[in-house]
Chain A
Amino acid sequence: MSKISILGLYDNPDAAADALDALSEAGFDSNNFDVLTGTPYPEGAFGEHIPQHRLFRFPLFGAIVGLTLSVFLTSTTQIVYPLVTGGKPILSIFAMLVIMYEMTMLSAVITTVIGILFESRLPNISMNVYDTRITEGLIGVSLVCTSDKKETAERALNGAGAMEIKSSGK
């Protein structure tokens, strides 16, 4: 069975919320439909499924990698060139702190940038059906389903008062 993408456009947040309820009642899995908005509505404003994310794992991973590398770099450098300075031990943590901080931060930042691309599913290669009026204030309810459920989906979206419904084969 081929998959299709359907988009219902709404000019009212309450109607979009009703559309999500209708899709749930029609038996569609909440992981298969999504709300598209040009403005960040508060989470749950449409009664939508809140996706689980792993946003904080990326910078944490990056920070651990950066810290480990910096400890390795600074400690091995000091061990290879053992110069006693001011009577302090060869491995002096204060002498290493500046480089440890910088490398930890840089690594965390790089993984954060990678994380935003990954978590936002950007670039969106297999873009589902979309309407540019969403960035002008309309609210889209996007659904991916098998072609045999197209009519059910359209009925649910229309029932909630969709201004327009668009679909594309996938």
Chain B
Amino acid sequence: MIEVPKTHNPEKFNSATSSLVPTTNETLGGKFKLVIGIFGILSAIGIVSLILKITTVGFDTKSGWGYYAAIVSLLLGVFGTAPMVAIAPTIAKADWHRPVSRIATMFTLAGISTSILAIPLIFALPPLVVGGIRRRSIWFDANIYTPHVFFGIAVIGLFLIGLALLWVTSIPDLSMMRDHSSGWKQRLGKSLSRGFIGTERQWISLRARIGMMGTFYFMFLIFVHIIYSICFSLELVAGWKDAIYPMYHAATGIQSGVATVIIGLFLFRKYWNLEDHIGIDQFWALSKLMFATTIFWFYFFICAFMIFWYGKSAINEMTIAILVNGPYMPVFIGTLLLSFIVPWWIIIWNPVRYSPWMLSIVATIVLIGSVLDRIRLYVISWQVYSDEMIHKRYIPLDEIPENMIAPSLFDIGIFIGFISLGILAILLASRFIPVVSIWERHQSILLTRHIKFHRTEVYAVGKPD
């Protein structure tokens, strides 16, 4: 490292560089390879489980794909929505997000799990014409495999947009790797930074592109949530009509995405020794997002529920039985407790919002709630589907199954394996992309000051762009 240059905050500036550049060599106390090995084995179990599920269950037994569909939906929220934590504050020009944004954006890599899992599910999705009759769908009179094709493009498109977003936001750090490393890291940095040298034009372009790619990612993410929730659950249940449901799906996805980022931030801060860069401010700001999205869970749920409750028609009663008080009532109660009541009650207290580990516990509770929520929504949707039932106006109450179905060993293997695969992708990327964006940390140091304000001190943030 060179001698300290006279930038505005030279000591802080260089200390950020010297402490963040080596994070790509972080060994977790010599256990990095062990951790990678464990997640690698779990990922392999997931892939084997997926192959076995396809070969043994087949695509015709629809009820066998409920838990699988729930896992895809969960991953769309947990991994797919996590980058929104970086995107929204970037667009709002907040300062607190700078140490968080890279970790949040790196979850786009975990989208590989969602993309791989989504493809077999497309084959399990029934065509638009079943038994010679067109089933009700948002695709009207389109080709019978239209949802299959366009959902496939959408989910892979989302993954690629995420990769593009990660690449765009990493270009300056990759140019740093090109300049100050050797071997494969230098070659990779040179290849990916594409000759970035930090001219005015490049910075202007980069800032604008980050905003645009972030906006596109958000617009595409919501689109994928809407398509997935409609095609892979709502349309499979005869008579289920709910305009709020797609937005409920997206909003609760954002809740689980925020929870994922909090846990990721906590772990990286602790095991990558990033206490100097990831402060309490970041957790405090995320806790507000978590609080808002937790309230959203209830808001969206009750908006839909009231219509069914007061409507009281046979279709409404069926919908309530499917989603709330039917065979999956215990799961619903678990969701209500873990996605709303418990996190809401804990997070309203100020000390919790200032405590990284307490917040991480709340985030874990929310994620468990998200798992239950997706089981509640998807397993029964695939359980009640049949080629005859789908054409009925609604499912009579006496034909709704009395019992839950349990996940198979394959489902459990896929659940653990593909979450592990996502984590593995992030850990491997942390070998060449710093988990805290160096250029954004520099920018934060450049534009922030503790200044005297009358008889106190305040934290002043410059917002030039």
B residues 363-419 with Cβ under 8 Å of A? none
CA distance A77 to B139 in the complex (A): 13
Query: In the complex, which residue of chain B has the Cβ closest to the Cβ of A59?
Result: B212
| A40-B443 contact in complex given A124-B195, A132-B179, A138-B5, C-beta closer than 8 Å | yes
B134 touches A85 (CB 8 A): yes
Q: Using an 8 Å CB-CB cutoff, how does the interface string of A38-64 with B read, 1 for contact, 0 for none?
A: 111111010011110101100100000
A113 touches B164 (CB 8 A): yes
- B223 nearest CB across to chain A (Å): 6
Of A21-29, A101-109, A151-159, the stretch lying at the interface with chain B is A101-109
A99 touches B198 (CB 8 A): no
Which listed residue (A34, A105, A116, A134) contacts B209, Cβ 8 A?
A116
- A48 nearest CB across to chain B (Å): 6
- B213 nearest CB across to chain A (Å): 6
- A123 nearest CB across to chain B (Å): 4
CA distance A11 to B141 in the complex (A): 66
Kindly state whether residue B199 has any CB partner on chain A within 8 Å. yes
Query: In the complex, which residue of chain B has the Cβ closest to the Cβ of A50?
Result: B200
B203 touches A40 (CB 8 A): yes
Kindly state whether residue B6 has any CB partner on chain A within 8 Å. yes
B447 touches A137 (CB 8 A): no
A122 touches B195 (CB 8 A): yes
CA distance A123 to B192 in the complex (A): 9
Kindly state whether residue A12 has any CB partner on chain B within 8 Å. yes
Which listed residue (A98, A102, A108) contacts B139, Cβ 8 A?
A98
B196 touches A122 (CB 8 A): yes
Which listed residue (B143, B180, B202, B447) contacts A42, Cβ 8 A?
B447
> Which residues of chain A have C-beta atoms less than 8 A from B447's C-beta?
42
B443 touches A77 (CB 8 A): no
A136 touches B204 (CB 8 A): no
Query: In the complex, which residue of chain B has the Cβ closest to the Cβ of A163?
Result: B5
Kindly state whether residue B2 has any CB partner on chain A within 8 Å. yes
A135 touches B216 (CB 8 A): no
B154 touches A120 (CB 8 A): no
Which listed residue (A112, A134, A136) contacts B197, Cβ 8 A?
A134
> Which residues of chain A have C-beta atoms less than 8 A from B10's C-beta?
137
A124 touches B462 (CB 8 A): no
> Which residues of chain B have C-beta atoms less than 8 A from A77's C-beta?
142-143
Q: Using an 8 Å CB-CB cutoff, how does the interface string of A90-102 with B read, 1 for contact, 0 for none?
A: 0010110011011
- Could you jot down 19 A-B contacts, CB within 8 Å? A13-B8, A39-B443, A42-B462, A42-B465, A43-B464, A51-B201, A55-B212, A95-B141, A105-B157, A105-B223, A112-B213, A112-B216, A116-B206, A116-B209, A123-B194, A124-B195, A134-B198, A135-B179, A137-B14
Residues in chain A within 8 A of chain B (CB atoms) = 11-13, 34-43, 45, 48-51, 53, 55-56, 59, 77-78, 81, 83-86, 88, 92, 94-95, 98-99, 101-102, 105-106, 108-109, 112-113, 115-117, 119-125, 127, 130, 132-138, 140, 142
